[in-house]
Amino acid sequence: MNQLRNYIATLFLFAVITNAYPQWNNSSLLCDKKYNEIAFLTTHNAFNSAQDNFKFPNQNYSITRQLVDGVRALMIDVYDVDGIPTVYHGKSFLGKQPLSKNLNEIYDFLIHNPNEVVTIIFECNVSANQIHSELDKSDLLTMAYTKNDSDEWPTLQAMIDSGKRLMVFTDKKDASSSQKWYHYIWKYAVETSFEVTNTDNFTTDFNRGNATNDLFILNHFVVNATIGTGIRTKAEIVNSKTFLTNRFEKCMSEKAKSPNFVTVDFYDLGNCMSAVNQLNGIQDSVPETVDLNAKPLLYPNPVSSKSTVEMPKAARPPFDFAIQTLNGQYITSFKREWETTFSIEKKSIQKGIYLLNIIDVNCRGFALKIVVL
């Protein structure tokens, strides 16, 4: 089903994926650790992003961008709107979209990054059967891991090897006996307060869940006292590496617990990923020096049958592509995720001069002139 969505555009173009896949968050050191021994950068109301045109967002960027940037756990609120599982925060008129859009983004990330593990934590106002149906339609259900009571937590490598790379939690206890992959979060986790309204009010006091549970959700965001929405200026303060690591140390000293889900608003502000890396005992990767002015390569051009496009190192997949005439008429537009080198075929495109427009995950645009013979 998902493949059909991805390949509709092959009436015009055919792409060949050639990129190499990283280890988990670019660090093989975590693969041999158990799931409950790892800290995951987690986004609060992950769906509620400015990029997806939500009013009063908790995040700046889409779920795809979050995952590319290293987020590995997503908090998602789901409601029933006319029988359709729909995500929104508080009131639907502030922005909403079908849950299926978020699940398709997660699927595409996982299918193109086979050494990655992702967690979903649902705040759920729909039934387990509805979630089951949506995961099935998005092709994620076959990736869902089941934690049996008698089992220890798996290592990330075990999850990768088994193909069960999606952990699903919910705050609604209504799973059937055949839905053991749908884990009731408060059976496994304890959390801190999610109603902090000032940067000075964070504590290590537990809220929901039992203190002896294996997993620890550290809610680390400041919300508006009136409407409960995220605050960018506060996020930039509390997401700093110093602020975060001080709170990690306080959790250890006062509760003897290290966070598993470091849950933040506006994850891109501050140094969240660096703080989580330090908590996991791994070093930040050194950014590669790249030429920010480098352009994609297209060869041969003119295109008589097939040509190759190579994206520069500064461009980050996934990419959005569109082909249009020089006067702006779109010939075709489509999303071709994750490849950095791909081939295009003439197929049914008529002779002429066109523009191939490419936008990367950072919304950086590139344009190539194509001559089709």
Mean per-residue pLDDT of the chain: 90
> Domain check: are 304 and 273 in the same one?
no
Q: Give the side-chain half-sphere CA count within 13 A for 373.
A: 8
pLDDT band of residue 284 (cuts 50, 70, 90) is confident
Residue 146 located in a structural domain: yes
What integer is the mean pLDDT of 265-273? 97
pLDDT digits (tens, 9 = 90+) for 346-363: 887 899 999 999 999 999
pTM: 0.90
In terms of domains, do 321 and 231 share one?
no
Report pLDDT for 11. 30
Q: What tokens were used for 228?
A: 């409960």
List the CATH number of the domain containing 252.
3.20.20.190
168 with 78, same domain? yes
**For residue 23, pLDDT beyond 60:** no
Give the chain's domain count: 2
The total of other beta-carbon atoms located within 10 Å of residue 158's CB is 16
49 pLDDT more than 80: yes
Q: Is the pLDDT score of 342 beyond 90?
A: no
Query: Is 100 in the same domain as 228?
Result: yes
- Supply the pLDDT for residue 98: 98
Which of residues 279, 311, 340 is at a domain's end? 279
Quote the domain boundaries for residue 362: 297-372
- Band (pLDDT 50/70/90 cuts) for residue 273 is very high
Q: Locate 70 and state its tokens.
A: 């290293």
- What angle (nearest 5°) sits at the alpha carbon of residue 343, between those of residues 70 and 311? 45
Query: Quick one: average pLDDT of 195-216?
Result: 96
Q: How confident is the model at residue 25 (pLDDT cuts 50, 70, 90)?
A: low
**Are 202 and 346 contained in the same domain?**
no
Q: Residue 97, Cα to own-chain centre: how many angstroms? A: 16
Within a domain: residue 197?
Answer: yes
Give the mean model confidence (pLDDT) for residues 74-98: 95
